[in-house]
Structure 1
Amino acid sequence: MMTQRIVFCLTLMLLTVTGAAAEQPNILIIFTDDQGYADLGCYGNEKNQTPRLDQLAKEGTRFTCFYAQTVCGPSRSALLTGRYPIRSKGWGMPASEITFAELMRESGYQTACIGKWDVSNRKPIVDRMPNAQGFDYYFGTLGANDSGGVSFHENNEEAGSTRDMGSLTTLYTDKAIAYLKERRDPERPFLLYLAHTMMHTVIDASERFRGKSAGGLYGDVVEEFDFETGRLLDTLDELDLNRDTLVIYTSDNGPWNQPKYTEKKKGHPEGSIFWGEAGPLRNGKGSCYEAGYRVPCIVRWPDRVPGNRVSDAIFATIDFLPTFATLCGFEVPKDRRIDGIDQRDLLLGNRETGRKNFYFHEAGVRQGKWKYLISDAFFHGYAVERDRKKVDELYDLQTDIGEQANLAGKYPEKVSNLRALMQVIEAGDKLDPTANRR
C-alpha cells in the first residue's frame, strides 16, 4: 500500500511539473444499451420527449457517423481497450487486456464503473471484473437482463438482486450521484463509466414514467433515461464540476428490432414494444448494416468542445482510449495493436475529419463514403434478413445511408481494394499504425 501511495504521489508531482495535471479533465461516460440511432429528439425522433439530451447536444457536439459494435459484450471490450473485438474478445475479454481505466488510474485518476459490465462471460471471474481492470469502485451487474432479472456486485462481493427492471435507471443514477458526492476525492480528477441496463430487451420504466410517453413503453424508458441523465448533469453543476468534465453520451449498439427476434422473445410486459428506432438506417442490433453499429453520440466539454455543432466525421468507441491518452496524460500501450486513433483535435474543433476507415466484425469495412460487405458477412441469427442474397455489397453512404443500392457490380476495383483493406485490418500487427490518421 505504501509503495502504491509513493508511486501515486510521484505521478502527481510529474504531471504537475509538466502542466498536465491542471489540464486533466474529469471523464463521464454515459453508455446506454440497445438504443436506436433515432430515439432522441436531437436525432429526429418526434414522439419521445428528450429535453435534457437535446440540450446536451446544443451545449456540445452531436456526431452522426459514430460507431460502436453490433452487440453488447464486443461493444464493451472495444470501448474499454481501443481494440476491435477480433482482438479484445468481447464477452470473453481476457485479464491481459489493458483498459483505459487502468491507464488513467496510473496517471492520477480515481475510477468508478456503475452498471452493466458484460466482459467477464457474465460470471464473477475476479481477475476479469472491474476492480481488476482498473476501476477503484464498482456497482452493477456482470451481465444482461435477458431473463427479466439481474444480480448485483459491489466491487467483488455479491450485493443482492432484483426483477424490478423499472428501478434500474434510477438505481444506477443514484449510485453515480452518490459516488460524485460521497466517494470522490475532490483533489483528483475522476473517470465515471455509467453503463445502463436500459434499453436492453426486458425493458420497463418506473411508475412515474410508465404510460406517460407517446412512444409506448419503450418511449417511457427513453424519457425516464433522459430525466435521470438530467439529474446526473445537474449534480455536476451542483458540485461545480461542469466546466472541468468531458461528458460522453452514447450506446453500445443499435436497437433490437427484427421480427425473427421479437416474435420469439418471451418475458416482456404485455403489449410492450421493446425496440427503438433506427431512423433512416438499415436493420438493427446484431447486423453489419448501419443500424447495428451506428449509434447516437453527444460530447460536451464547456469552452473546449464546440457547442451547437453537428459532425459527420467517422468516430468510434475504439477511439476513446488514445483520445483519453492525450487529454488525460498517459501513454497508449505499445505492446499490442490499438485500433483507435487520437480524436482530440476532432473533439476540440481543430479539425473536421475523423477516421479514414472502420471495420465491421467479420463482415466488411468502411472507407470514407464507401462501405463494403463480403458475401458471407457475419450477422447474429436474429438479424439475418430473410431475402438477403449472399453477394458482395458496396454502398455509397453519402447518398444512400439506408444501404439500398448495391454498387458492387459497378465498381469492382473499389470492391477489390476494400476487400484487401479488410484483410489488412484483420491481420492485426501488420496494420500500418498511421493508416487511419488524416
Structure 2
Amino acid sequence: MPLRSIQSAIYTTTMNHSLLFTRFTVSLILCFIASAAVAAVAADKPNILIVFTDDQGYADLACYGNEANKTPRLDQLAAEGTRFTSFYSQTVCGPSRSALLTGRQPLRSKGWGMPASEITFAELIRNAGYQTACIGKWDVSNRKAILDRMPNAQGFDYYFGTLGANDGGRVRFHENNEPAGATDDMGSLTTLYTDKAIEYLNEKRDPEKPFVLYLAHTMMHTIIDASDRFRGKSAGGLYGDVVEEFDHETGRLLDVVDDLGLSENTLVIYTSDNGPWNQPKYTDRKKGHPEGSIFWGQSGPLRNGKGSCYEGGYRLPCIVRWPGKVPAGRVSDALFATIDFMPTFAHLAGFDVPRDRRIDGIDQTDLLLGKRDTGREHFYFNNAGVRQGDWKYLKPDAYFHGYAIEADRKKVDELYNLKSDLGEQTNLAAEHPEKVAELKALMRQIEGNDPPGTSPIQIK
C-alpha cells in the first residue's frame, strides 16, 4: 500500500476513535448533569414519613403529661422537633383518614365511603416525582376490596395492610390488590407493620427519588394487645403495654431512617386519628377483649373521647421533626389539623392542590418551619360546631356517636372559651349571644357549597 494511503487510513481511524471517545465523554457528562439535577431536585423535596396511630389519647404520652406510660422515643422526637398542643384530627377512624388523604372535611370526603373520585395527596405527590407507600389500616373503602378505592388506585405505589379495623379480633391483609393472609394475633400487628415499613425503606425504595411513607397502625383500636416482650411490663395495664410497644417500634423505625442517612431530609409526622375510647357506656359492654383489658386511653384535661365533639374526641398529640428546618424543642398551641397536610405537602413537594373542588386545609409550611406562630383561624367539628381562636361553639343537636353521648348533656347552644376552660365545663352561650351568632354563621359557611377551589379562610 502506498505511504499516502497508509497515512490516510491511520488519520481516518484516529479521527473516528476520537469522535467516538468525544461522543462517549459528552454522553457521560450529560448523564452526570442529569443525575445531579435529579439529585438536586430530590434534595429540595423532603421525604415524608407519617406515623398515624389509632384511638390514641391526647395524654397517652409522657411528653403530653402521662405519668404512667414510658415513651422515651416519642419524647425524644418531641425534643428534636415541635410538639403541637392544638392539633385536630377527626372524631372517628374513616372520616379521619379521608380528611388526611384529601385535605377535605368528611362532609365532603365521605369518610369510610370515600369515593374513587376523591383526589389524594398521594396521587398528586407521585406526579411530582415521589415514590409512595401505605402500610397498615386503610379504612376508606368501606372495609372492602373495592379496587378503584384501594390504595394502589388512590396514588400509592405499594400497599400492605388491612382494609378495615380489628373490631372482631381478626384482620385480613392485602399486599397491593391481592389478599395476603390473616391473623387473630393482635399483639403482632405493631411489629409487623414496622417490619414492613423498614423493609420498604431498605428494599423497595428508589434512593434516587424522594418518598412518602404513610404508616397507619391498628393499635390502639378496640381489641388491643401487645407482644410477649411488652405484655405486663408497663405501669398502665395492657393499654400502657401497647403504648410502650408502639413507642419502641416507632423508635426502631426512626433508627433505620437514621442508619440510612435519611434523617436530615425527612419530615417526620406523628399523630393519631381520633381520641381514645374512654366511655363506660362502651367499655361496659365490650366483647372479645383480652382478660383484664381496660383499653381506654387518656384525654388528660380534655372532655370525653372518641366519637365526641368535645375536645377529647378531636384534639390529638402531634409531633413534627425535620432537623434544621422545623424548630427543635418548640411547643406550639397554634391551630393545626390533618386536613392541612395536603396543602402543606403541595408547598414542600411542588404540586398544585385540586382546583375543581373545595379544599378545607391550608398551607402550614411557615408554621412548621417556625416562620409564623399562628395557625388556622378556625376548625370545624363535623355536624357539630366550630372553633375560632379561643372560642368554641357546639349546636344543640351536635352529633355524637352513641357511646360518647353524655346522659346529662342538655341540647342547647354551647359556647366555651378554651383558653380559660380547656375542659369545657362552663357554658358561656347565654353571656355572649353575639359570639354564638358569629360562630353559627361561620359554621354554616363551612358547611355550604362554595365554588370549587375555595376555602372559607386562607392563610398565606
TM-score category of the 2 structures, normalised to the smaller one: over 0.9
Distance 1:434-1:425 versus aligned 2 partners, 3 A rule: closer
For 2:439 and 2:196, locate their aligned partners in 1 and report how far apart those are by CA, in whole Å.
45
In the alignment, the residues of structure 2 paired with residue 232 and residue 420 of structure 1 have an alpha-carbon distance, to the nearest angstrom, of 45
Q: Match of 1:248, as an amino acid? A: I
Residue 20 of structure 1: how far off its partner (Å): 4.8
DSSP-derived class of the 2:277 partner: coil
Q: Is 1:361 equivalent to 2:382 in the alignment?
A: yes
State the AA in 2 paired with 1:102: E
User: Could you say which residue in structure 2 is the equivalent of 1:435?
Assistant: 457
1:228 is aligned to 249
Q: What is the match of residue 52 of structure 1?
A: 73
**Offset at residue 403 of structure 1 (A):** 0.2
Say yes or no: does 1:299 pair with 2:320.
Answer: yes
- Residue 6 of structure 1: aligned partner: none
The equivalent residue for 2:223 is: 202
Is 1:134 the equivalent of 2:135?
Answer: no
SS at match of 1:265: coil
Select 1:36's aligned residue among 34, 54, 57.
Answer: 57
Report the CA distance between 1:428 and its aligned residue: 3.2
Is 1:338–2:367 an aligned residue pair?
Answer: no
Q: Is the Cα–Cα contact under 8 Å of residues 261 and 382 in structure 1 kept in the other structure?
A: yes
CA contact (8 A) 1:16 1:22 kept: no
Among candidates 213, 235, 240, match of residue 192 of structure 1: 213
Q: CA deviation at 1:264?
A: 1.0
Q: Answer whether contact 2:137 2:162 (CA < 8 A) is retained.
A: yes
- Summarize the alignment of residues 232-311 of structure 1 with structure 2, pairs less than 5 Å apart: 232-311=253-332
Residue in 2 that maps onto 1:154: 175
Distance apart, 1:436 and its partner CA? 3.9
Q: 1:186 to 1:413 in 2, by over 3 A?
A: same
- State the alpha-carbon separation in 2 of the partners of residues 234 and 31 from structure 1: 18
Q: Tell me by how many angstroms 1:163 deviates.
A: 0.3
Q: Is residue 20–residue 328 contact of structure 1 (8 Å, CA) maintained in 2? A: no
For 1:311, the aligned partner's letter is S
What is the aligned partner in structure 1 of residue 129 from structure 2? 108
Q: CA deviation at 1:356?
A: 0.3
Greater radius of gyration (CA): 2
Higher mean alpha-carbon deviation, 206-215 vs 261-270, is at: 261-270
Query: How many aligned residue pairs are there?
Result: 427
Decide whether the 8 Å contact of 1:357 with 1:436 is kept in 2. Answer: no
User: What SS is found at the alignment partner of 1:204?
Assistant: coil
Name the aligned partner's letter for residue 437 of structure 1.
I
Residue 324 (str. 1) matches residue 311 (str. 2):
no
Separation (CA, whole Å) in 2 of partners of 1:375 and 1:437: 30
Deviation, 1:429, is 1.5
Counterpart code for 1:65: S
Between the aligned partners of 1:413 and 1:261, the Cα distance in structure 2 is 37
Q: CA 1:426–1:16 in structure 2 vs 1: closer, same or farther (change >3 Å)?
A: farther
Does the 8 Å CA contact 1:20/1:329 hold for their aligned counterparts?
A: no
Post-superposition CA distance 1:270-310 (Å, at most 9, x none): 11110100000000000000000000000000000000000
Deviation of residue 435 (structure 1)? 1.4
What fraction of aligned residue pairs are identical, expressed as a percent?
A: 77
Q: Which moved more, 1:264-273 or 1:89-98?
A: 264-273
Structure 2 distance, partners of 1:85, 1:43, is: 27
**2:87 counterpart letter in structure 1:** F
Equivalent-residue separation in structure 2 for 1:408 and 1:309 (angstroms): 34
Q: Which runs of 5+ in 2 are unaligned?
A: 1-32
CA distance in structure 2 between the aligned counterparts of 1:428 and 1:79, rounded to whole angstroms: 20
Between 19-28 and 396-405, report the one with greater CA deviation. 19-28
Give the aligned CA root-mean-square deviation in angstroms. Answer: 1.6
Q: TM-score, normalised by structure 2?
A: 0.91
Q: Report the Cα distance in structure 2 between the residues aligned to 1:111 and 1:317, rounded to whole angstroms.
A: 18
The DSSP-based 3-state class of the residue aligned with 1:64 is strand
Structure 1 outlier segments of 4+, above 2 Å: 15-22, 430-434
Partners of 2:43 and 2:265 within 8 A in 1 = no
Per the normalisation by structure 1, the TM-score is 0.95
Query: SS of 2:203's equivalent?
Result: helix
Instruction: Give the structure 1 partner of residue 26 of structure 2.
Output: none
CA contact (8 A) 1:424 1:430 kept: no
Deviations 1:395-418 (A, max 9, x none): 000110000000000000100010
Structure 1 residue corresponding to 2:192, chosen from 159, 163, 171? 171
Q: Supply the distance in 2 between the matched residues of 1:262 and 1:430 (Cα, whole angstroms).
A: 43
